[in-house]
């Protein structure tokens, strides 16, 4: 593979930003913009356009990865609770989230719900907002309800930033984020067309860095990547093509993603950082912008372990995605103790078996350091598919 300055500079910088539990990049931004606020977004999805329109910086607070040692938080959350809940609390208890002016949690699962309350008690100076996402997407009233919920968040953001959010500002943010999401979609398309040119770990790092910097800065990085990557010379190898499912909240270490790929897979698609590429199409740029966000959640969002839509079963979505991408298999990459992901697995497994699509189930923890076992399991699986 040819190494250009893009690889050396941009990717190295992104990786540094992503693996820095002190949030130095965000801190620098805050120093440079002393009058602007920072709002943390716990997975999965947050209305980042609203935060942006408020003149604040939306920042992904997505656990501590394998850079944070849990010393205090496991006295608060038991051993059978997923790692991201504990590491996020640990970030807070060790002062590393003191750069936040507010934080959003959501109705994704019971541990996250309780984490919101524990945050509110332990960090009384932090504005903690719990967003309830509609769970009856078939109801005609879901849009009205969710618009009202977003209106409430708009008011909360106005209190955090001390300035109200005009519809025009929100409209502009929507337009900007539509552009950003289009680039991200292109990045995935590129990977699907030529996975040898864009390893999943690189795409992931690039995307994750975007959760820690202003969209205005991240857009040019994405655009540069989209220009450079097609020109890379890399040989396609004999690997199976897989879809990764189950890692929508807690994130696997970047090196695990790389190890899985090197063990003989091309990861055509995944549900990593799903909340930052939540919409399947553009958010409407005309009409009431709040309503546009609300309808987009209901009608134009990805299926996900934390979203329950009685209109179309999740498992059908997954089978369809595998078929559409021409993938060979599904790799379940579930965070240990992640109840929604573990539940989904039972449904998905059944549907995949019916559809004759092979799959491999792997559990991970964000704090993993050694990937030999995972690599071994993937290798065995790949061999069974290639030569079995």
If the CB atoms of residues 61 and 357 are measured against ligand SF4, the closer one turns out to be 61
Q: Which does 84 bind (CB under 5 to 8 A by kind): another protein, ligand SF4, none?
A: ligand SF4
340 binds ligand SF4 (CB under 6 A): yes
Return the range that interacts with ligand SF4 (CB under 6 A); candidates 4-12, 79-87, 208-216, 291-299. Answer: 79-87
Number of Cβ within 10 Å of residue 170's Cβ equals: 23
Binding residue (CB under 6 A) for ligand SF4 from 223, 339, 377, 379: 339
What is the x/- site pattern for ligand SF4, positions 295-314, by CB under 6 A? Answer: -----------x--------
If the CB atoms of residues 56 and 341 are measured against ligand SF4, the closer one turns out to be 341
Closest approach of another protein to the CB of residue 128, in Å: 10
Q: Which does 335 bind (CB under 5 to 8 A by kind): another protein, ligand SF4, none?
A: ligand SF4
How far apart, in whole angstroms, are the C-alpha atoms of residue 333 and residue 340? 13
How far apart, in whole angstroms, are the C-alpha atoms of residue 245 and residue 316? 13
Return the range that interacts with ligand SF4 (CB under 6 A); candidates 107-115, 270-278, 320-328, 367-375. Answer: 107-115
Binding residue (CB under 6 A) for ligand SF4 from 62, 82, 203, 333: 82
Binding residue (CB under 6 A) for ligand SF4 from 68, 108, 169, 319: 108
The closest of 135, 56, 60, 55 to 104, measured between CA atoms, is 60
How far apart, in whole angstroms, are the C-alpha atoms of residue 246 and residue 243? 10
The closest of 206, 281, 247, 187 to 43, measured between CA atoms, is 247
How far apart, in whole angstroms, are the C-alpha atoms of residue 377 and residue 388? 15
**Alpha helices (H) in the chain, listed in sequence order:** 5, 12-18, 24-32, 48-53, 83-93, 110-122, 142-161, 167-193, 200-209, 215-228, 254-262, 289-299, 314-325, 339-355, 372-387
156 binds ligand SF4 (CB under 6 A): no
Binding residue (CB under 6 A) for ligand SF4 from 73, 85, 99, 153: 85
Q: Which does 349 bind (CB under 5 to 8 A by kind): ligand SF4, another protein, none?
A: another protein
- Is 82 within 8 Å of 335 (Cβ atoms)? yes
Burial 315-333 (b: 16+ CB within 10 A, else e): bebbbebbeeeebbbbbbb
Q: List interacting residues with another protein (CB under 8 A).
A: 74-78, 80-81, 85, 107-111, 113-118, 120-122, 129-130, 132, 134-136, 138-142, 144-145, 148-149, 152, 306, 308, 310, 313-315, 336-337, 339-340, 342-347, 349-350
252 binds ligand SF4 (CB under 6 A): no
249 binds ligand SF4 (CB under 6 A): yes
| Coil vs helix vs strand at 257 | helix
Return the range that interacts with ligand SF4 (CB under 6 A); candidates 28-36, 91-99, 308-316, 338-346. Answer: 338-346
253 binds ligand SF4 (CB under 6 A): no
Strand ranges across the sheet with 240-245:
265-269, 240-245, 329-335, 359-364
Identify the DSSP state of 301: B
Burial 92-111 (b: 16+ CB within 10 A, else e): bbbebbebbbbbbbbebbeb
Closest approach of ligand SF4 to the CB of residue 305, in Å: 7
What is the x/- site pattern for ligand SF4, positions 274-293, by CB under 6 A? Answer: --------------------
- Is 119 within 8 Å of 92 (Cβ atoms)? yes
The closest of 273, 245, 197 to 346, measured between CA atoms, is 245
Could you list the residues that contact ligand SF4 (CB under 6 A)? 82, 84-85, 108-109, 111-112, 249-250, 306, 335, 338-341
């Amino acid at each position: 593979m040819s190494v250009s300055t893009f690889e050396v500079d941009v990717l190295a910088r992104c990786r540094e930003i992503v693996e820095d539990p002190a949030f130095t990049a965000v801190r620098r931004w805050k120093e440079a913009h002393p009058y602007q606020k920072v709002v943390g977004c716990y997975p999965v999805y947050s209305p980042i356009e609203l935060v942006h329109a408020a003149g604040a910086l939306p920042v992904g607070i997505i656990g501590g990865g394998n850079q944070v040692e849990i010393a205090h938080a496991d006295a608060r959350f038991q051993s059978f609770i997923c790692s991201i809940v504990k590491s996020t609390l640990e970030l807070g208890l060790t002062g590393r989230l003191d750069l936040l002016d507010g934080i959003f949690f959501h109705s994704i699962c019971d541990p996250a719900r309780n984490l919101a309350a524990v945050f509110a008690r332990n960090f009384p100076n932090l504005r903690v907002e719990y967003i309830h996402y509609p769970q009856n997407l078939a109801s005609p009233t879901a849009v009205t309800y969710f618009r009202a919920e977003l209106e409430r968040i708009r008011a909360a953001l106005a209190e955090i930033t001390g300035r109200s959010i005009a519809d025009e500002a929100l409209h502009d943010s929507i337009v900007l984020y539509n552009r950003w999401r289009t680039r991200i979609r292109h990045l995935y398309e590129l990977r699907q067309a030529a996975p040898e040119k864009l390893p999943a770990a690189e795409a992931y790092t690039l995307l994750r860095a975007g959760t820690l910097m202003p969209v205005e800065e991240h857009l040019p990085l994405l655009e540069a990547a989209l220009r450079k990557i097609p020109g890379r010379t890399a040989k396609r190898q004999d690997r199976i093509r897989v879809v990764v499912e189950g890692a929508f909240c807690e994130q696997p270490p970047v090196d695990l993603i790389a190890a899985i790929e090197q063990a003989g897979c091309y990861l055509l698609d995944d549900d990593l950082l799903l909340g930052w590429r939540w919409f399947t199409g553009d958010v409407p740029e005309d009409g009431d912008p709040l309503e546009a966000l609300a309808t987009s959640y209901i009608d134009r969002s990805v299926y996900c372990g934390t979203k329950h839509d009685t209109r179309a079963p999740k498992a059908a979505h997954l089978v369809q995605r595998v078929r559409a991408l021409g993938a060979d298999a599904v790799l379940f990459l579930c965070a240990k103790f992640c109840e929604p992901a573990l539940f989904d697995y039972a449904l998905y497994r059944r549907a995949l078996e019916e559809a004759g699509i092979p799959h491999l189930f792997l559990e991970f923890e964000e704090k993993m350091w050694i990937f030999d076992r995972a690599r071994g399991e993937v290798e065995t699986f790949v061999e069974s598919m290639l030569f079995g």
